[in-house]
Copies of this chain bind each other. A is one copy, B any other.
Amino acid sequence: MTDFEENSWKPHEECGVFGIYSKNAGEIPPAYACYNGLLALQHRGQESCGIAVNDKGVISYSKNMGLVSEVFSDSVLNRLQGHIALSHVRYSTSGDSVRENAQPLVMRYIKGTLAIAHNGNLTNAYELRKELEKNGCIFQTTIDSEVIAYMIARERIGAASIEEAVHRAMQKVEGSFSLLVMSPQKLIAVRDPNGFRPLCMGKIGEDIVFASESCALDAVGAEFVRDVEPGELVAAGPSGLKYLQSPAKAKRALCVFEYIYFARTDSKIDGLGVYETRKEAGRLLARQSPVEADVVIGVPESGIDAAIGYSEESGIPYQKGIVKNSYIGRTFIKPTQSERERSVRIKLNALESEVRGKRVVLLDDSIVRGTTSGRIVSMLKEAGAKEVHLRISSPPFLWPCYYGTDIPTKEELIACQHTTEEIAEMNFADSLAFLSLEHLPSMLKNRCTGYCDACFSGEYPTEIPDYMRDNKPNDYCTPIQRL
């Protein structure tokens, strides 16, 4: 099973971005750097991907539905010649109906060509679109990047430079954005004032690299420089680096679920290693909700880190108790309803020798709708587990996310509809515990001074427009379907 399929019962990140500004020839051709960078960020989006390169203002690009390894061939990468490049992976929703929405968005405007790659979700996209349409603008996609493109194009008219235009435009958009913009001469990285989504900066020799996560820097052999700060704009150009800071003062609000699930376990975000926080969540759970047991097991892949932490803290031995099939692919075929119920069994299999006759602590990162955990618990019991104690390394989901994550509506969130006891029962677990909201600062080692836990707490760091609260964030766009 690829994570893709596993993701079917998890919340999803919207995107990942990667860009490189290569002063001279560069250590590695920019398109290949993007390819490797996107492979490392693929967990952030498997629907579509794209790379745009810039050869002195002339942009070449390739984007399509599919995984990075499916969309790009050596021959295409070879033809993507240029000294600046920018790239994107996008989360998979449904079918290829959204082919137009693949990024980067490439276009011409008053100053030549422009390419944009965006991770996040604008909370005032609706108002901006309506305003633009009233002025005769047309929209060929439903992505926020097109709104951002217009904002930049309009600010560019009176601005002295592209970075000034981007800087001005960024003060008019609201919500979450980790953004890369490629002009004929520059590569610009911006992070929203709250810093909802991660964005970091590295270098390979004299080349400057920006990426959603540090694991992508590692993948291209780049040295980590630092995170782009909330509200900061960094422009790499022929005359070096330039920094601008948003005048807006905003609460730091990195999405805490990046640590819990979204980010790759080997990334560091805002100074904190993801693996450490996951193991810490396991340790905290061991203290918060201890249980007598024989073995600690994690649901692969994401539950394993917390399981190791739980084991360390509790002294109960860690074992590989569930094996994942790496070959399921994106188009898993299920013939019948009974098959569908068994589909977890095709992706995951219990290691009977490790669970038979044993009391098992099972670690997972989250419960959303709540059916999948039950299937895994059943599988362990069928393999002979005497007891299964479910420990979830995050608090229960109770609130929607407006910042670029597809947490479902309250009606679908099991924790909104049921008590922890009921959920335990529905999942055939002998006991169930969620990491408490109060433990999040400890999980973050008290080092992450500001984070967003709105999906757990309901405390949104920014104002949310009413029409969004009414839960139809995309209804303002008449649907267009590309077959």
Contacts and interface: CB of A to CB of B under 8 A. Distances in A.
Contact of A483 (B61, B108, B154, B320): B61
Q: How many copies does the complex hold?
A: 4
Q: Which of A35, A70, A77, A110 is most buried by chain B, counting CB atoms within 10 A of its CB? A: A110
Interface stretch (A171-179, A229-237, A331-339, A453-461): A331-339
A109 interface: yes
Contacts of A319: 308
B109 A139 contact: yes
A59 B480 contact: yes
A335 B81 CA distance: 13
Nearest to A115: B480
Nearest to A134: B110
B138 A157 contact: no
Most chain-B Cβ atoms within 10 A of its Cβ — which of A42, A138, A184? Answer: A138
Contact of A108 (B136, B273, B330, B480): B480
B69 A351 contact: no
Contacts of A401: none
A218 B382 CA distance: 11
Interface in A438-483: 477-483
A483 B138 contact: no
A266 interface: yes
B106 A483 contact: no
B352 A273 contact: yes
Nearest to A136: B154
Contact of A479 (B58, B150, B312): B58
A275 interface: yes
Contact of A481 (B59, B114, B150, B479): B59
A378 to B, nearest CB: 12
Contact of A308 (B109, B276, B320, B325): B320
Contacts of A70: 329
A342 B219 CA distance: 9
Interface residues of A, number: 102
A154 B133 CA distance: 9
B60 A354 contact: no
B136 A275 contact: no
Given A345-B219, A352-B273, A108 B138 contact: yes
B62 A482 contact: yes
Interface in A348-363: 349-354
Nearest to A68: B327
Contacts of A328: 39, 69
A284 B362 CA distance: 28
A234 B156 CA distance: 40
Contacts of A157: 134, 136
Interface in A48-78: 57-62, 67-70, 72-74, 76-78
A32 to B, nearest CB: 5
Contacts of A305: 320
A138 to B, nearest CB: 5
A77 B332 CA distance: 12
A29 interface: yes
Given A108-B478, A333-B72, A80 B483 contact: yes
Contacts of A275: 320, 351, 353-354
Contacts of A326: 2-3, 42-43, 301, 326
Interface string A298-326: 00010011001000100001111001011
Given A108-B480, A140-B140, 11 more contacts: A28-B335, A39-B346, A42-B325, A69-B327, A73-B331, A74-B335, A109-B133, A109-B139, A137-B153, A264-B323, A266-B350
14 contacts: A32-B335, A39-B346, A60-B481, A69-B327, A78-B335, A109-B139, A114-B138, A136-B154, A138-B146, A215-B349, A221-B342, A273-B351, A275-B354, A308-B320
Interface of A: 2-3, 28-29, 32, 35-36, 39-40, 42-43, 46, 57-62, 67-70, 72-74, 76-80, 105-110, 112-114, 133-134, 136-140, 146, 149-150, 153-154, 156-157, 184, 215, 218-219, 221, 264-266, 273, 275-276, 301, 304-305, 308, 312, 317-320, 323, 325-333, 335-336, 339, 342, 345-346, 349-354, 477-483
